[in-house]
Every structure is written in C-alpha cells, then in structure tokens.
A = this chain, B = another copy of it.
Amino acid sequence: MNDPLPRIDAPLTPDGLEAVLREVGRRRYHDRHPFHRRLHGGGCTRAEVQAWALNRYLYQAAIPRKDATILARMEDPALRRAWRQRIIDHDGEAEGEGGIARWLHLTDALGLNRALVVSGRAALPATHFAVEAYVQFCATRPLLDAIASSLTELFSPRVIGERVSGMLAHYDFVDDRALAYFTARPPQAERDVIFALDHVRRHATTVETQRAVVEALIFKTGVLWAQLDALWHGYVTGQLPPGAWTPDDEGVWT
C-alpha cells in the first residue's frame, strides 16, 4: 500500500476513530480522482458528462436496495425508523419524486433516452460490478460495517457543492432543474451521516470493530473510485469494452 493508514493496535477513543475515518476520506474519496476534477472543472465533453450521468444512475438506483438489506438486519425499531428515511429520500413519496427521479432530470437534460438509462444496459460492466459489490457488502457483512460504509457521505457535501457550481459555470447544457438532485441532497446526506457517524462512534469500541469499520469505509471509497476509473479508461482515453454504448449509438442519446 503506497499510503498506509495508521494501524489500530489499541482501542481508539471515538474522536480518535473519527479522525482515522476522516483521514480515509482525505486520502481516498473520489473528489481526488482526475475524472471528478475534470467534471466539476468544466473539462468534460458533453459525451463524457452523459457517460458519467448514465453510469452513475446505476449507483443511485441501487442505494435503496442497499439500504433495504441493511434495514432487513436491524433488530432495533428506533434504528430502523432512522434508516428507512434513506429509502424514502431516494424513492420518493410518489412517482416522479425522490433522489432517483431527480437524477433522471439530469439524464433527461443531457438528452439521454430515459428507458435506456433505467435499463442499465448502457452502463459499463465495471459500473455494474462495483455497484453490486456495494450491495453485496452491505447484505453480507456485519451490520456495523454496512453502516460504516455509508460514511463516505462525510465527504460528499463538499463535493456536491463543488459539482453544482462547477457544472453550472462551465456547461451550457446543464440548468437548475437538471441539477435538482444536487440541491436536494446535501441536507439529507448531512442528517444521514450525523446519525451513522454517531452510531459507529458508539458501537465500534474494540480494536477488531474499529479496524473493520475503517476497512468498510476503505472498501466503499474503492467502489466510488473504481466507477470513475472505468469512465476515464472508457470515455476519456477511449478504450471502451467491446459492445459498450457510445454517444453515437442510435436510441441511446437523443
């Protein structure tokens, strides 16, 4: 590992643990990825923004399934009451509402065929693999690790703020409605992450569980990073897998 984190050899205080978790974000969160910098700095072509939005849709669409696998293993009604709000936020109260629907405002604005975006068939295989790895992680690992893997949201409000302002400034094909997801999301993410961080601080009190929650967060940063790696490799350098969708495909891009 070219940048090892401090090894946990004795139980950390809650503040000490939080400091390590924040260090994971500082080193590994995908705001450091070249694709992110290119995207929010206005350096992406329209096709690259389209590819990003339709691949990232897969991740957005999987989040409620991920949260449902977590909810399904929570024994405590109070914990479930808090966690279920995440599913409500993403799926909305009715058709056309919620985070997933707002993401489709973005893909609509980018001229992407909605049925194709929703089908997932235009997304790269590597996107599918990373997203489903996250769902599986949360379905099969200890509940505390699954909760800890959501802590990338500690770092997302800054990114979302940068992304909205960067995109509005640089891309004339992006307007406020297209970016509704990014304006609605930060207060939800902040509420969610305060809850999850408090839970992790209170329950990860041994060396083993502290190591595990740090590993869970590292795993999650890998899920996000790998998605941008695949976009860069495919759409920036142009080394697309055989059969991958391209901006010229009929029916994909309108």
The answer to whether A136 has its CB under 8 Å from any CB of chain B is yes
State which residues 83-97 of A face B: CB under 8 Å. none
Spot the interface stretch: A70-78, A99-107, A125-133, A196-204.
Answer: A125-133
Give the nearest-CB partner of A228 in chain B.
Answer: B241
Contact A230 B126, beta carbon cutoff 8 Å: yes
The answer to whether A2 has its CB under 8 Å from any CB of chain B is yes
**Known contacts A233-B232, A239-B229; is A129 also within 8 Å of B246 by CB?**
no
**Known contacts A1-B249, A126-B130, A246-B2; is A241 also within 8 Å of B218 by CB?**
no
Contact A129 B226, beta carbon cutoff 8 Å: yes
Q: Hey, which chain B residues are within 8 Å of A148, CB to CB?
A: none
Contact A34 B132, beta carbon cutoff 8 Å: no
Distance in Å: Cβ of A111 to nearest Cβ of chain B: 18
Q: 13 new A-B pairs (CB below 8 Å) besides A28-B243, A125-B130?
A: A1-B245, A2-B248, A27-B242, A28-B241, A126-B226, A126-B230, A129-B130, A129-B133, A132-B136, A221-B242, A225-B241, A229-B239, A232-B233
